[in-house]
Amino acid sequence: MYVLVLTVIIGVLLSLWYWTRNYPRSPPIYPGGLPIIGHPHIIIKYRKDLWGFLQNIADYSVENGGIVQLWAGPVTAYVVSDPEVVGNIANTCLEKPFFYNFLIDSIGNGLITLNGPTWRIHSKLLSPSFNQQVLNTFLPEMNVQSRNMVAQMTTVAGKGPVDIKEFITQYILRSVCRTSLGLESKDQDIIDNGYAKALEEIFRIVCYRGLNVYVHPSCIYNWTSMRRRELELVKIVKNMINPIIQKRKSELKPTKMYNYDSSTTVSGKFKPTLDLMLDLSNEQNVLSDDDIRAHLNTFVAASYDTTSAVLHNALMVLGSYPDVQERVYEEVRDVFQNNEELTKHDMSKLVYLEGVIKEVLRVYVAVPLMARKIDADIVLPKYTLRAGSICILSIYGLHRHPSWGPDAKEFKPERWLNPDTLPTNPNVYAPFSFGKRNCIGKQYAMMSLKTSIAHVVRKFRITADINVLKWRYEIVLKPTTTPLVNLTLSSGDEGLGEVSVIPNRTGLHVVVVVHVHECLQGKAYGRWTLHLPVRLQVESRRRNVTNGAANKDSYIFTSTWETGHR
Ligand code: HEM
């Protein structure tokens, strides 16, 4: 009798499973799924190379008409790389799936995790803090922080292959913490040593939980040492950020500086995002202290990993493609001229650099996947995506879509210079997502990347090889090994004093006086690119470089250029 009942139950479950998986108009199923359980065992098998597994699924989706289906028990997920379908879902499904909630427990409910009408209201309220007029006021701060990063990099220039990650992450953190929290330089330690490190670790824990199904249920997760550590970190973050909010509140109240117009600024330079939020909380009573803390944490967390990964990739790419680097250098030199800082007008002149950044974001995509919850059945020409399922949108797949042409996988910044060489369908490019929930910080990120890359390229010649790197998935794609770069000081026309060129038997004997920048004093060695008023052959090589201090802030370099001509 029992055997009969058991057989009937198993039979019903299997039929249910078969029916739901092969629901009429269901997309193709990714191979290897087990009845009822689905695909989790494959994730466990590939846990050491999760990115390899995710790439396989994305490729399978491209090869099978742009959609593929997977499941874990009752949860169905579609991986979509068809540009039309991705566009449709990004615009119509605005809710995030359950695993985004893991972030709420730790950093609060900010724009990334909010759903429904609250997201709509907060998103509308916060967008003014990222409009172009406000971003322009952040530019001087980005220049200052870029110069600090360059000065730090100078200490390792000429010392062979080095790891520059710390300089990059500090640049990103300091700029974003100062522009969003309004922290002054004296508070630098709070940023460098406490807040950011705690947020970074929280993010790592949340990411681990998201990728490991067995710690999804709170009843299990709450008993883990990971959760205990997470709670400690949450406390650290709260204890740091609450006093900052309270202090700023008390500073602003007496002067009634709340009204958010871009002319009133903290320390006479810019107005941080925190001020806008305090204004909204004071005048309109719409944001609580908890909301403010959640939004600030979200901005720092959302920008830190992403923008530093892209900046790192961009510098690696420049080091791997010397011709591209040379062209960026020429453009940057023309735009900077003799100035120390880039202005808002300079931003639009850095056309080639913008192409390079866009191509880095396409080929070395920072956020390769994002997810949405499907709230009502979506009927597509071939398939129906069922309500209650999760949709993984493959940005990685879009960026390799056949409409990019046969060279889709190649790094070619030139394609951005001529609109005719770009795909006609705009949906195949989405490094910052698209639709209504796209990245609020995308202009901020572009401005920060342009400024920092321009400052670095102006000062250094970079050598690296990005093609040796392998990648791991942690929401943001990161290299599995430490990427190393060679930095060599270069000198453009800035700082260049008198130049005398004396022809000799083998070529040209060049004597150059270089006025050395403050931060380079005592370290002016390495290779210098000299842009002479006369055009030398490309194959010119410089040798016999000698240097000696002429006075406090200039050096004399003498060198012989073999031109092959006389
Ligand atoms: C190169 C750097 C960046 C990249 C590649 C990037 C990418 C993305 C992507 C793909 C999303 C969609 C995520 C999803 O729907 O699951 C997103 C959302 C978001 N990003 Fe960024 N981001 C970058 C920089 C920034 C910066 C600098 C900030 C803030 C200062 C920021 C704040 C946000 C926020 C708040 C959201 C959630 C928007 C919403 O749902 O309303 N991001 N970003």
Least confident of 63-72, 174-183, 455-464: 174-183
Average pLDDT, whole number, for the chain? Answer: 82
Ligand 1 pocket member 107 (CB < 6 A): no
Residue 72 above 70 pLDDT? yes
Task: Check residue 507 and give its pLDDT.
Answer: 59
pLDDT tens-digit map of 266-276: 444 678 889 88
Query: What does the alpha-carbon distance between residue 67 and residue 202 come to, in Å, rounded to a whole number?
Result: 33
Task: Check residue 451 and give its pLDDT.
Answer: 98
Task: Check residue 139 and give its pLDDT.
Answer: 95
Residue ID of nearest Cα to ligand 1 atom 35: 111
Task: Check residue 262 and give its pLDDT.
Answer: 41
Ligand 1 pocket member 112 (CB < 6 A): yes
Pairwise pLDDT comparison (259 vs 332), residue with the higher score = 332
Model confidence band, residue 442 (pLDDT cutoffs 50, 70, 90): very high
Task: Check residue 361 and give its pLDDT.
Answer: 98
The share of the chain scoring above pLDDT 90, in percent, equals: 51
Q: How many residues comprise the chain?
A: 566
Residue 557 above 70 pLDDT? no
Task: Check residue 467 and give its pLDDT.
Answer: 92
Ligand 1 pocket member 440 (CB < 6 A): yes
Q: Which parts of 268-288 fold into alpha helices (H)?
A: 273-283
- CA of residue 493 relative to chain centroid, distance: 32
Q: Which parts of 64-189 fold into alpha helices (H)?
A: 83-92, 101-107, 116-126, 132-154, 165-181, 188-189
Give one DSSP letter per residue of 346-389, joined into a string. HHTT-HHHHHHHHHHHHHT-SS-EEEEE--S-EE-SS-EEPTT-
Tokens of 512: 């150059």
Pairwise pLDDT comparison (292 vs 538), residue with the higher score = 292
Q: Which residues pair with 515 in a beta bridge?
A: 554
Pairwise pLDDT comparison (186 vs 366), residue with the higher score = 366
Ligand 1 pocket member 280 (CB < 6 A): no
Choice from 89, 361, 439 to test ligand 1 binding pocket (greatest atom count within 8 A of CB): 439
Model confidence band, residue 229 (pLDDT cutoffs 50, 70, 90): very high
Distance 220 CA to ligand 1 centre (A): 30
Task: Check residue 504 and give its pLDDT.
Answer: 60
Ligand 1 pocket member 103 (CB < 6 A): no
Task: Check residue 332 and give its pLDDT.
Answer: 95
Ligand 1 pocket member 433 (CB < 6 A): yes
Residue 547 above 70 pLDDT? no
- pTM here is 0.83
Residue 319 above 60 pLDDT? yes
Ligand 1 pocket member 303 (CB < 6 A): yes
pLDDT tens-digit map of 364-385: 999 999 999 999 999 998 899 9
pLDDT tens-digit map of 471-523: 998 889 999 999 999 998 875 444 445 555 566 665 565 555 554 443 343 33
Side-chain-side CA neighbours of residue 425 (13 Å): 15
**Contact residues for 200 (Cβ-Cβ < 8 A; gap 6+):** 304, 305
Q: Which atom of ligand 1 is nearest to the CA of 112?
A: 37
Task: Check residue 559 and give its pLDDT.
Answer: 53
**Contact residues for 468 (Cβ-Cβ < 8 A; gap 6+):** none
Q: Which atom of ligand 1 is nearest to the CA of 100?
A: 16
Nearest-5° Cα angle at 561, 555 to 565? 150
Residue 23 above 70 pLDDT? no
Distance 431 CA to ligand 1 centre (A): 9
DSSP label of 341: S
pLDDT tens-digit map of 160-172: 899 999 999 989 9
Distance 229 CA to ligand 1 centre (A): 26
Residue 289 above 90 pLDDT? no
Ligand 1 pocket member 86 (CB < 6 A): no
Residue ID of nearest Cα to ligand 1 atom 42: 441
Average pLDDT over residues 123-150: 92
Average pLDDT over residues 64-69: 91
Q: Is 439 annotated as a binding residue?
A: yes
Query: What does the alpha-carbon distance between residue 169 and residue 167 come to, in Å, rounded to a whole number?
Result: 6
HEC string for 166-231: HHHHHHHHHHHHHHHHCCCHHHHHHHHHHHHHHHHHHHHHHHHHHHCHHHCCHHHHCCCHHHHHHH
Task: Check residue 418 and give its pLDDT.
Answer: 93
Task: Check residue 195 and give its pLDDT.
Answer: 77
Task: Check residue 143 and give its pLDDT.
Answer: 95
DSSP label of 195: I
**Contact residues for 506 (Cβ-Cβ < 8 A; gap 6+):** 560, 562
Distance 178 CA to ligand 1 centre (A): 18
Residue 40 above 60 pLDDT? yes
Ligand 1 pocket member 399 (CB < 6 A): no
Task: Check residue 487 and give its pLDDT.
Answer: 93
